[in-house]
Structure 1
């Protein structure tokens, strides 16, 4: 059974050699071409001095080269670190420095995002630019061009040569261990700094292998499927979905970034059968005038997650897509999905489980604990903890945070919920203060630490306010210093360039003082109360 990325690259290519694997607006590649290009890129990494467990940073909208690099890093025993290209330069620079990347791959169109912080990237040895060389202001004397760099290998190095020979390839794939780190994903941090979640090869194999062993075919992904890749590679959901399609021998159509009209066009033109979306994406598709059941008739499976969905939105989606719906719940730390609400539980409008996140997948265990760590009975709300075969190895260079989140193999999610008598999990609230905006996880501490530096701000607090379009919007409560004034546009101007645009508050309220308890802790539940009091769940 396949359990490493290099092993999968060789064996899946052997089964689907000349079949199309990835398709994008830039190019199309077969399984054989993907393997060949990944091997050349792996050799290129080794020629630049990449060593085992080195981090390789990637700043790019979704394109085929990103997946060539994912496989290349795995072959070279390196760890790919994809970065959210929507972040501000300072945030990008922090991640590159934190992961100690020596090499950064950056899409040409995103190059301006990093130019101004180049002097802060002390350990970078090489920048490789992805994209068309024409009409670029980037000096080829200072930077390598991806296409030229990856195709420069004429004779494979000793480390890569066996991959070109079938017998040798089968031998060399045994040199990889399923517990080796393969990708590092950054999540927003509760303390104001993002943390690098280190994931191993097994994240992409063990859960699905366990399910197959138990006869659970889940979505039934197979080589006849065509997948829409509309989730970004820098989110575990996007990378995980792409690799599952690859392992099934399916063809996948990449979107550089999600755009509802383009998604509809791709689905119709390429007869897409399976899609993975966040609820905000579903809403955007529904709002398009040309979104009709006829145009989307090829879709037979819709996977959604990252934030809950309202019954109203789900009803509209089911009327549009004549497909089976699967909701998943999990997090980067659990290696993506751990819980699933199956199609049979989506029978609207009055199905008893429609407000549940789902039940644990085969191989996954769930407990709900009280504040002292004792398991709670069905119906009692506490912290959700998950034991999954896909869980993270830990946080990069952060043993304290690792020990807090990962205990005896259990991931402490920070979400509050309960299990019912039938094993269905209901997510009610967040023990953490995390805000989910259009599927993006945002932590208030990160915004508060920046906003507090404004000279007019005495203190501030950030919460998520429910919003029908985005799920939740970032809302700031600000206490001003005496004899000062601050308009909303001043707040936006001050934060612009310091944090990503999607983290900037969409709503601002000025108050005389923040509510606190006897020990001085800000009572965010009081700030949230009037917005959430009519909601069944405290996540939207």
Structure 2
């Protein structure tokens, strides 16, 4: 095995391209990425990213220009990311599950000049481009094709040496679009520095659970068009370990990677981790090599967490953050993942360099135990919402980022997320946060997942309406579910109706699409509150 580069080999002042150059010099034959059996060494990653950077310059792209990536996760995504950092271009990863109109909105809003697209997504890409006034050149990520030159042919004529200037780490590198659970998505502009923030704090603080052994092989289940997936993979590149990339998450593909790729660390959202455990024939032996599971992106109900911890049989680490914070704001370390620990209901505590306040509607700081809006600041924050000064001003206020999450702090500074403020249900003047009711429903042994929304009620203003999906081969009546809640929730939080679904609708990041469930109740009304 090639000896990993030492910390001295990777100066903390360089950007992403400089860090990869140092890894290529110190451990050229070490495997950086594995995808569908293809192994990309640090040397290959460095040389290809240099060619891509020079190709971007030859295409006339100046610093600040936007390029898009519409495709499954692969080594190509990271070659483009490193190249973009080298020349100051901004990469816009696009969710390939979106419709042509949704993709057109992102391309138009960002002003993309180049779009790198998978063969499988070529049709929807052309459909999107035809809706635009601007010219967007398509580069197909595999060889040939009517969309234009294949990716390798596109960059092949250019030198495998870095451009002259090191990119500015404070300059924009990514434009990630929010999941769009309400209205059009916003383009979150993220500086390159944000990808280094947690690592640099880790190296100067006491966070041993974030240390990365040189023999690690990390499997990232979250797709790269989501900041958590891309940022977690980049940490592996910066640390000089191998990252296993799935082109597309399926429970079977994730399980197969854990069984065959020597995976030692996994990063995913709760529903992804749970679905792996539902695969036929799965046993704890499949996870014998795991040392850590990191999870975030949505709450993990306690019973689901207990099941995952039991079967995965390794340490668990929770993180809380959002696209706008680029990297996590809080961590719940493995030491807090003990049976019966009340902190398991929390999202953890802010790490060194990050701060959290809870504010009331007037902007006043609330004491521990009081619920209000969670506002944060830290070393990794968005620069702005692209071309949206009003939304930026509403979100970034005096250096604090207003998350839109409702939560509380305990006396030890641990954060407890109640829900999104805009998802809050008001029943006869009482606040009901859907996540609390959902967690209570999921505690029933038959319930796999649950979603709760507010529906109009002529007497109480709003009422709680629940949707549940069952584990395979299990079921319960709405009355049985309701009876199971009576000793867990006060009467005003109890669902007035429970509907059975095959699955709760979620977006590509695993977040519940409450808007889709809520909208039918409010159609024909002047406003979606009562």
Match of 1:300 in 2: 291
With a CA cutoff of 8 Å and minimum separation of 6, indicate the structure with the bigger relative contact order: 1
| 1:425 corresponds to which of 407, 415, 424 | 415
Shift of residue 293, structure 1, vs aligned partner: 1.2
Deviates more, 1:356-365 or 1:221-230: 221-230
In the TM superposition, residue 66 of structure 1 has moved relative to its aligned partner by 0.9
Deviations 1:85-126 (A, max 9, x none): 111110001000100011110011111112223322332342
Following the alignment from structure 1 to structure 2, what is the Cα–Cα distance between the partners of residues 266 and 229?
10
Check the 8 A contact 1:222/1:249 in 2, yes or no: no
With over 3 angstroms needed to count, the CA separation of the structure-2 counterparts of 1:325 and 1:396, relative to structure 1, is same
- Closer, same or farther: CA 118–254 of 1 in aligned 2, 3 Å: same
The answer for the alignment partner of 2:384 in structure 1 is: 394
Q: Is the CA contact (8 Å cut-off) linking 2:69 and 2:94 kept in structure 1?
A: yes
Distance in 1 of aligned mates of 2:169 and 2:240: 21
Q: Are 1:66 and 2:77 counterparts?
A: yes
Q: Does 1:240 align with 2:231?
A: yes
Deviation at 1:249, TM superposition (A): 0.6
CA distance in 1, matches of 2:515, 2:419: 21
Are residues 1:94 and 2:100 paired? Answer: no
> Is the 8 Å Cα contact of residues 86 and 163 (structure 2) preserved in structure 1?
no
The match for 1:282 is: 273
**Which residue of structure 1 lines up, in the alignment, with residue 430 of structure 2?**
none
The one of 346, 359, 371 aligned to 1:369: 359
* Residue 342 (structure 1) aligns with: 333
Q: Per-residue displacement from partner, 1:241-270 (whole Å, max 9, x unpaired)?
A: 000011111101110111112211111211
Question: Is the CA contact 1:84–1:234 (under 8 Å) kept in the aligned structure 2?
Answer: yes
The separation in 1 between residues aligned to 2:218 and 2:387, in whole angstroms, is 35
Q: SS of the counterpart of 1:294?
A: helix
Which residue among 211, 229, 246 is the counterpart of 2:220? 229
Asked whether 1:379 is paired with 2:385, we answer no
Rounded to whole Å, the distance in 2 between the matches of 1:510 and 1:204 is: 40
Local SS of the residue matching 2:320: strand
Aligned equivalents of 2:519, 2:163: Cα separation in 1: 62
Alpha-carbon RMSD across the aligned residues, in angstroms, is: 2.9
Q: Among 189, 203, 209, which residue is 2:194 paired with? A: 203
Cα deviation code 1:147-178 (max 9, x no counterpart): 1112222x468xx455xxxxxxxxx43xx322
Task: Provide closer, same or farther for how the CA distance between residues 7 and 217 of structure 1 changes in structure 2, counting only shifts above 3 A.
Answer: farther
Task: Sort the Cα spacing of 1:500 and 1:355 in 2 relative to 1 into closer, same or farther, 3 A.
Answer: closer
| Partner SS, residue 429 of structure 1 | strand
| Counterpart mapping for 1:398-413 below 5 A | 398-413=388-403
Q: How far did residue 26 of structure 1 move?
A: 6.0
1:333-378 superposed Cα distances (whole Å, 9 cap, x missing partner): 1112111111111101x11211111101111001001111111111
Call closer, same or farther: CA 1:36–1:156 in 2, change over 3 Å.
closer
Q: What is the distance in 2 between the residues matched to 1:182 and 1:251?
A: 23
Instruction: Assess if the C-alpha contact under 8 Å between 1:79 and 1:181 holds in 2.
Output: yes
Provide structure 1 residue ranges, at least 5 long, that are not aligned to the other structure.
163-171, 436-462, 480-498, 525-540
Of residues 7, 18, 23, the one that matches 1:7 is 18
Whether the aligned pair in 2 keeps the contact of 1:26 and 1:63 (CA below 8 Å) is no
- Asked whether the equivalents of residues 383 and 431 of structure 1 are also in contact (C-alpha less than 8 Å), the reply is yes
Q: 1:509 to 1:24 in 2, by over 3 A?
A: closer
1:215 maps to which residue? Answer: 206
Q: How does 1:490-529 map to 2 (within 5 A)?
A: 521-523=527-529
Q: Secondary structure at the match of 1:295?
A: helix
User: What secondary structure, in the 3-state scheme, does the structure 2 residue paired with 1:120 have?
Assistant: coil
Q: Residues 274 and 523 from structure 1, CA distance in 2 versus in 1: closer, same or farther, beyond 3 angstroms?
A: same
- Distance (Å, rounded) in 2 between the aligned partners of 1:191 and 1:208: 33
Q: Distance in 1 between matches of 2:157 and 2:383?
A: 35
- Stretches of structure 2 lacking an aligned partner (at least 5 in a row): 1-11, 426-433, 458-507
TM-score, normalised relative to structure 2: 0.80
In the TM superposition, residue 83 of structure 1 has moved relative to its aligned partner by 0.5
Sort the Cα spacing of 1:513 and 1:203 in 2 relative to 1 into closer, same or farther, 3 A: closer
Distance 1:326 1:191, change over 3 A: closer
Q: How many residues align?
A: 453
**Structure 2 equivalent of residue 536 of structure 1:** none
Deviations for 1:202-249, whole angstroms, at most 9, x for unmatched residues?
A: 101123212321232332213210010221111000110000011111
Q: Structure 1's 161 and 186: CA in aligned 2 closer, same or farther, altered over 3 A? A: closer
Decide whether aligned partners of structure 1 residues 470 and 181 sit closer, same or farther in structure 2, where only a CA change above 3 A counts. Answer: farther
Any idea what SS the aligned residue of 1:14 has? helix
User: Is this contact kept in 2: 1:278–1:305, CA < 8 A?
Assistant: yes
Q: Which residue of 1 aligns with 2:317?
A: 326
Listed as ranges, the matches of 1:404-483 within 5 Å are 404-433=394-423, 466=438, 468=442, 471=449, 473=451
Matched, 1:270 2:257: no
User: Which residue, 348, 351, 357 being the options, matches 2:347?
Assistant: 357
Of 127, 144, 147 in structure 1, the residue corresponding to residue 152 of structure 2 is: 147
Could you tell me which residue of structure 1 aligns to residue 133 of structure 2? Answer: 122
> How far is 1:500 from its partner?
12
Question: Residues 410 and 161 from structure 1, CA distance in 2 versus in 1: closer, same or farther, beyond 3 angstroms?
Answer: closer
